[in-house]
Amino acid sequence: MRLVLLAAVVLLMLVEDGSGERTLSRRTRRELASPLHVGGIRDPFGSYCQRRGGCCPGRDDQCTVPYLDTICYCDLFCNRTVSDCCPDFWGHCLGIQPPFIGVCERNGNRFFTGQTYKENCNLCTCGTTGRWECEQNACLMEADIINNVNRGNYGWKAANYSQLYGMTLDEGIRFRLGTQRPSRTIMNMNEIQMNMDPQSERLPLYFNSVEKWPGKIHEPLDQGNCAASWAFSTAAVASDRISIQSMGHMTPQLSPQNLIACDTRNQGGCAGGRVDGAWWYLRRRGVVTEDCYPYQPPQQTPAEVGRCMMQSRSVGRGKRQATQRCPNSYNHHNDIYQSTPPYRLSSDEKEIMKEIMDNGPVQAIMEVHEDFFVYKSGIYKHTDVSFTKPSQYRKHGTHSVRILGWGEDRDFNGTPRKYWIAANSWGKNWGENGYFRIARGDNECEIETFVIGVWGRITMEDMQSHHHHHRRRHI
Ligand SMILES: *[C@@H]1O[C@H](CO)[C@@H](O)[C@H](O)[C@H]1NC(C)=O
Ligand SMILES: *[C@@H]1O[C@H](CO)[C@@H](O)[C@H](O)[C@H]1NC(C)=O
């Protein structure tokens, strides 16, 4: 309460800045000054004329009392042209109800015109009529979306996340995703030929990279309010692939920050970027580890990105070396990791599965809808809980994630439900420890539309020979 009052006073001081100069001697100034009570009377129950010792008859330019950062008048002239009367002028001098006063109620407390509180993502202001006037934004955490998902038979459960509470849906889409759709040329890129024989290829009902390659699959990170899933998903898939292909000789967690701050050509940093650009950078320049170049989530303006603190130069045979020390001064391992060109997989569920099982996690682009933010557990499918709401409640944006495996469940009436196991980049407290499951085989949220695999660049020194058995076409 006291804080709110203080905030109102500060606000008032800003609003009233121009009228602070009115002087006692120049009545014309007084008439020209803006009215004191725009938007309602501040401190309506304060004692002014009363404390002064009474009111003045007629016009008396000396009949003033300090009021906030200016003065107010207690003469009978004060309400003649524009009002500069003290808040208690009407009550104390005229014995009538003061005009322009709004008192709003909230939880049994009284608030005055201009005071505010925040209801989830919306600012509510006490209006002059004594009504709270609230913004009408769709919020990222809407109680009725959460409740309707949890009451329905959607196959997944929703939760209210404190780290996302108070954001608007627009802010969620603007700051928590961050992958631009690949350009038309990239989208039209040929898929690799897999020569898969559906008869002979027996894919298990359940597969999880975490279990097949223990210690080589990296845990989900948290991008915070930085729309850089393009960098997080790319770094995560490359990290896993390098660890798998080096057979655990190297298990680097590659630095998304290195990509965000340094891969700036046609990339938007924390305002979104392209995965093909990120792969280009990983291939040609390479990045260091997360521990060497730690993630710095933006503090103030979400789109702000720190300057690039890591460069590399060629040392022959396609290898590169860092030219700077680690930004983390406690880490002295500034080795540069590179990838080979990425390749696009077909949208065929079985081919994606085979690729994951043979070679490790893949990167996928997906459309994130309003209900995805509240996902807590189960097999996600975009629901219809917002369909009857105004359009500002139904929004989506493009994101990228890492798919690590798959499985199959049965719902309450025994129908099998196939799913992908994927890692998000919203921290480990979101979803199933940072992971989520999503319906498989129906291109849910377009997750099967654009799927990418890659080889780490592992040389003979890094490990012994490694062979792969698909013909692949490179990006
Ligand atoms: C004082 O100002 C209020 C608000 O504009 C107005 O309703 C009222 O009539 C004024 N009173 C006088 C005496 O001018
Ligand atoms: C969600 O969490 C916030 C705080 O994190 C809390 O203020 C709010 O009441 C919660 N909303 C619901 C619907 O549980």
Instruction: Write down the H helix ranges in 311-390.
Output: 349-359
Residue 160 CA, ligand 2 centroid: distance in Å: 6
Residue 119's H or E segment, with its range, is strand 116-119
Rounded mean pLDDT, 104-116 = 84
Six-digit token string for 235: 């770094």
Domains of the chain: 2-104 (no CATH), 146-277+340-453 (3.90.70.10)
Q: Which amino acid is at 181?
A: R
CA 293 to chain centre: 22
Residue 1 CA, ligand 2 centroid: distance in Å: 20
Lowest mean pLDDT among 35-39, 236-240, 334-338: 35-39
* pLDDT per position as a tens digit, 438-460: 999 999 999 999 999 987 666 55
SS3 456: strand
- pTM exceeding the 0.85 threshold for the entire prediction: no
Six-digit token string for 230: 């393009």
SS3 230: helix
Q: What is the mean pLDDT of the chain?
A: 85
Nearest CA to ligand 2 atom 9: 120
- Give the whole-angstrom CA distance, residue 266 versus residue 264: 6
Buried b (16+ CB within 10 A) or exposed e, 314-326: eeeeeebebeeeb
Residue 144 CA, ligand 2 centroid: distance in Å: 12
Residue 89 CA, ligand 1 centroid: distance in Å: 12
**Ligand 2: lining residues by beta carbon, under 6 Å:** 141, 143, 160, 162, 165
Cβ-contact 354, 201 below 8 angstroms: yes
Give the pLDDT confidence score for residue 172 in this predicted structure: 97
Give the pLDDT confidence score for residue 360 in this predicted structure: 96
- Give the whole-angstrom CA distance, residue 381 versus residue 388: 18
Q: Residue for token digits 């997750």? A: 447
Please check the confidence at residue 101 and state whether its pLDDT lies above 70: no
* pLDDT per position as a tens digit, 11-31: 333 333 334 344 444 445 565
- Give the whole-angstrom CA distance, residue 368 versus residue 375: 11
Residue 399's H or E segment, with its range, is strand 396-410
Cβ-contact 320, 285 below 8 angstroms: yes
For the beta carbon of residue 334, count every other beta carbon within 10 angstroms. Answer: 19
Give the DSSP letter string of 28-70: HHHHHSPPTTTTS-SSTT--SHHHHTS-BSS--TT-EEEETTE
- Give the whole-angstrom CA distance, residue 459 versus residue 336: 13
Rounded to 10 deg, the angle between the 349-359 and 229-245 helix axes is 50
> Ligand 1 atom closest to Cα of 35?
5
Rounded mean pLDDT, 212-235 = 97
Instruction: Write down the H helix ranges in 99-152.
Output: 143-151
* pLDDT per position as a tens digit, 141-150: 999 999 999 9
Please, which contacts does 26-35 make with residues 24 or more away whose CB atoms are closer than 8 Å? 27/59, 27/61, 30/61, 30/73, 30/84, 31/81, 31/82, 33/82, 33/84, 34/82, 35/82, 35/83, 35/84
Cβ-contact 348, 449 below 8 angstroms: no
Q: Give the Cα-Cα-Cα angle 449, 183, 450 (nearest 5 degrees).
A: 15
**Ligand 1: lining residues by beta carbon, under 6 Å:** 79, 83, 99
Six-digit token string for 415: 């129908």
Give the pLDDT confidence score for residue 440 in this predicted structure: 97
- Give the whole-angstrom CA distance, residue 361 versus residue 374: 24
